Amino acid sequence: MLSTPTFVYLQTTLSDACGSDPGFLCEFVWDQTGSEGLAEATEFMVRPVKVILIFLAAWIVNRIVRRLINGTIKEITDAQDAKATRVHEPIDEDPRWRVGAFREIAAKRARLASEQAERGTQRAETLGSVLRSIAALIIYTIATFMALAEFDVNLGPLIASAGIIGIAFGFGAQSLVKDFLSGIFMLIEDQYGVGDIIDVGEAAGVVEEVKLRTTKIRDVNGTLWHVPNGEIHRVANKSQDWARDVLDIEVAYDTDLTHAMTVIKGVADEVWHEALANATILEEPEIWGVESFGSDAIAIRLVVKVEPAEQWATARELRRRLKYAFDEEGIEIPFPQRTVWINNVPSSEPTTPPPDLPEVDFTPVVAAEGEVGA
């Protein structure tokens, strides 16, 4: 049994070698060897080894999270791409697709399906890159704080400073963060992509570029709009999956409505069966009946389902053919008409000629500087 002075001597030496709170390895080496230098070296090496293990664990966790992110995003994009591909595939049950004249439409649908797949791939790569970067930043930040704690660094001030900086950044760049988060959710949900025709309220047109912070839209006048994603509260995508033309065709009040509807339906069916390359009607056109009674005409509603982004070309083609068909059938396309009643009141008093007026000079005069007019 060790005497009290010997015990005090050993404790003091152990404290000198391994510190006031000796680690297991340092104390073990001291007990086995009794060498203060070797114990100190062990204590010095333990901390770097712990730091290496911390960052090794962080790397492993980061790899696992990356795989989970990639798998999740792939499942989301695959499901959306499969849906889009089914929309753009030719319908086998429709006999029109077996006719040689419709090969161009089938090729167009194949191209659209390929573009949709490419778009899904790009979307997955963008989302994966962003989410992987965020995950890596969080994981390695935590690992860094744990490594600093191993060297007895007081983390309280660092955490407090980081919190203050985060609050300041949140207030100062909240619109930027809002745009960034909106861009991420927009990509995940595939609300729109390059080539789509969208309406976001302030701007409407073709999407030329989609970024995490902004979306570039080219309108019909050629103006390029830069719209922050956080400012987009609603999106009307006019070229996704399919579109619909709703035409209210006006005829005169004395027109035989049944005959007019028959003519309209015949013209629409003709365009449907021809399946024009840029005006493809997907389903049999429908006449929904009389839509309204206007001041000068009766409106008959025609509805056709078309390929995405072809509703404008289809509507123009239908209007052109309807004009010729109405002319042949004698159906009047109305224009504003008014009935004017003129009431002549005889006068018992003789009419007096107007007095002679002095001639006025109407020569233009240049206004003096600063005056509104001469």
Is the overall model pTM greater than 0.75, yes or no?
A: no
> Which of 328, 370, 307, 339 minimizes the C-alpha distance to 113?
307
328 SS3 class:
helix
Residue 55 pLDDT: 87
Contact 155, 148 (CB under 8 A): yes
Residue pointed to by tokens 């609050």: 167
Contact 111, 85 (CB under 8 A): no
Tell me the mean pLDDT per 10 residues along the chain, length 374: 44 54 56 58 67 88 88 72 55 49 60 64 73 87 83 74 71 76 81 86 87 88 90 87 90 92 94 85 91 90 90 92 93 79 68 65 49 44
Contact 46, 25 (CB under 8 A): yes
- Pairwise CA distance, residues 275 & 368, whole Å: 67
CB burial of residue 235 (10 Å; 0-12, 13-18, 19+): middle
Residue 333 pLDDT: 85
Residue 111 pLDDT: 64
Tell me, what amino acid is at 302?
L
What the chain holds in terms of domains, given with CATH numbers, is: 1-153 (no CATH), 243-329 (3.30.70.100)
Half-sphere exposure (Cβ direction) of 240: Cα atoms closer than 13 Å:
17
C-alpha distance from residue 227 to each of 93, 179, 205, 237, 340 (Å): 43, 10, 12, 15, 52
Residue pointed to by tokens 């002319």: 327
- The full DSSP string for 15-45 is HHHH-SS--HHHHHHHHHH--HHHHHHHHHH
> Cα 337 to the chain's mean position, in Å?
46
CB atoms closer than 10 angstroms to residue 365:
9
